[in-house]
Amino acid sequence: MDTFRSIKTTVDIPDHDLKEVMKHTKAGTKTEAVARAVADYNHRQRLTRLAGKLGTFRNLVTREELLKSRSEG
């Protein structure tokens, strides 16, 4: 079971932005919408940092090459 810790705070968020976040996240409450938005933002930042460490794939097999290789056996 995950340990869930939170803090209570007051923030001013424009109504139209909060409504849009609630629509996109399908959250039932404002708190849930903000929590999901914050979690999503953090996730995207971690992915960005990870992608920067990976570099590029110069010799990546194309889809066509992969299918040909699989069909040849």
Residue 36 falls inside a structural domain: yes
Task: Give the CA radius of gyration of the chain.
Answer: 21
Q: Does residue 51 form part of some domain?
A: yes
pLDDT at 1: 54
Q: Is residue 65 part of a domain?
A: yes
Residue with tokens 């290789």: 69
Domain extent at residue 29: 15-72
Evaluate if residue 60 carries a pLDDT over 70: yes
Domain annotation covers residue 35: yes
- Residue 26 is predicted with a pLDDT of 96
Q: 46 — alpha (psi -120 to 50), left (phi > 0) or beta?
A: alpha
The share of the chain scoring above pLDDT 70, in percent, equals: 93
Looking at the structure of the chain, the number of domains it has is 1
- What's the one-letter identity of residue 21? V
pLDDT band for 67, please (50, 70, 90 cuts).
very high
Is 48 a member of any domain?
A: yes
Q: Measured between alpha carbons, how far is 35 from 11 in angstroms, rounded to an integer?
A: 13
**pLDDT tens-digit readout, 2-27:** 667 888 999 999 999 999 999 999 99
Task: List the structure tokens of 70.
Answer: 């699989």
| Residue 7 in domain | no
pTM metric for this prediction: 0.64
Query: Is 2 domain-assigned?
Result: no
